[in-house]
Amino acid sequence: MTNATAAGAEALHFQVGDGDPRDRLDKLIVLLLERAGLATSRAAVQRWIAAGRVLVDGEPARASVAVRSGAIVEVRPEAPPPSATAADPDVAIPVVYEDEHLLVIDKPAGLVVHPARGHASGTLVNGLLALPGFALAPADPRDPMGHVRPGIVHRLDRGTSGLLVVAKDEPTREALKERFARHAIEREYTAIVAGEARDATYDTLHARHPTDRLRFTSWVRGDAGAHAAAPRRAVTHVRVTERIGDAATVVACSLETGRTHQIRVHLAERSRTPVLGDPLYGKPPKKPALRAIAEELGRQALHARVLGFIHPATQRPVRWESALPADMRRALDQLRGLATRSSI
């Protein structure tokens, strides 16, 4: 077992367990931090090691060193440098609500939320930095990756459209994060899935896939094994709203928890009805007509339709609904037409 204790605000101490990967210090630290809820990159850890911010049994060590079981590893994550993320006024941000404390955005599919590898510009964060009140937003000092996330308290995948709340000040951000943490946010998604879905509640464990780092899975043991972060509970309520022949179903998905890719994982693994067009958890439909619709859509047919919560400043309930975007409406019309003609 690996034990971790915080030493003040800067240092973390871990005791290396028998089952931990011990062949390289940098790999070990990435896992230890992920377990502690501080996921970071191996490159960042290597920078900390080179700067002398990592000690093994009180002594500096190389990134490539093997670590003995029982060793005490001290990690002092380095504060991220000032961000070079640039404001981009050309990023269109469809705002559906704004007050002095927060924004609610209807994110289009294809818009990446924050800069990452392969998406250094043109993201929602770049657009936010061009808005009044966000221009001086720093990198979050609690984020070892140094991501700039002005007011970002939750996210939608690039291919998912719909409602997203952004805080404009620190008290609002912290209050919204607390509401998300205790699942006090109303969220409902509309999905078009391949196959015949059914009303169901999926209550599973959820963790990163053991062999594919891009994916998550609900097929995981309670301890997730020694080489993975501890799994977390994921609960999705699925309700059928329309059946389109036997080839597709429209479902409403309500979240109790908000794990990464949660809806996509539950629909693909537990319902066995993957979201239409999902490039990561689905497969191209075997039926040519259905496959053509998925290819034209070009993204997972998933839309964050409802968002509601108690406003942190006014303490009054607020709630928004977003209509299906044009690409999903077009896919639905095509599916209904094919079903009418018994072509799917």
Contacts (Cβ under 8 Å, ≥6 apart) of 139: 80, 81, 82, 83, 146, 147, 148
* Distance from C-alpha of 153 to C-alpha of 104, rounded to nearest angstrom: 12
Catalytic pick among 157, 199, 278, 327: 157
Per-residue pLDDT at 222: 67
Q: Alpha carbon of 36 to those of 39, 137, 157, 244, 328: distances in Å?
A: 8, 26, 23, 44, 39
Per-residue pLDDT at 290: 93
Per-residue pLDDT at 79: 61
Q: Does an H or E element contain 29, and which?
A: helix 25-35
Q: Is 99 a catalytic residue?
A: no
CB 195 within 8 A of CB 267: no
* Distance from C-alpha of 217 to C-alpha of 159, rounded to nearest angstrom: 19
- 73: three-class secondary structure by DSSP: strand
* Distance from C-alpha of 21 to C-alpha of 65, rounded to nearest angstrom: 12
Instruction: Measure the N-to-C terminal CA separation of the chain; round to a whole number of Å.
Output: 52
Say how many C-beta atoms besides its own lie within 10 A of residue 146's C-beta: 20
Backbone angles phi, psi at 256, to 5 degrees: -95, -30
Per-residue pLDDT tens digits of the chain, which is 344 residues long: 445 544 434 789 999 998 898 899 999 998 898 888 776 778 789 989 999 999 999 999 999 999 999 999 999 987 655 556 788 899 999 999 999 999 999 999 999 997 776 777 899 988 988 887 665 444 444 444 444 456 788 989 999 999 999 998 878 888 898 899 888 999 999 999 999 999 999 999 999 998 898 899 999 876 655 445 689 999 999 999 999 998 999 999 999 999 999 999 999 999 999 999 999 999 999 989 999 999 999 999 999 999 999 999 999 999 999 999 999 999 999 999 988 876 55
Q: How many residues in the chain? A: 344
Per-residue pLDDT at 209: 92
Per-residue pLDDT at 7: 40
Q: Any idea what the Cα angle at residue 337 is, between residues 332 and 341, rounded to 5°?
A: 145
Per-residue pLDDT at 19: 86
* Distance from C-alpha of 211 to C-alpha of 272, rounded to nearest angstrom: 21
Per-residue pLDDT at 75: 94
Paired residues of 259 in beta bridges:
none
What's this model's pTM, rounded to 2 decimal places? 0.74
Q: Alpha carbon of 216 to those of 85, 113, 154, 191: distances in Å?
A: 28, 19, 17, 19
Backbone angles phi, psi at 90, to 5 degrees: -80, -10
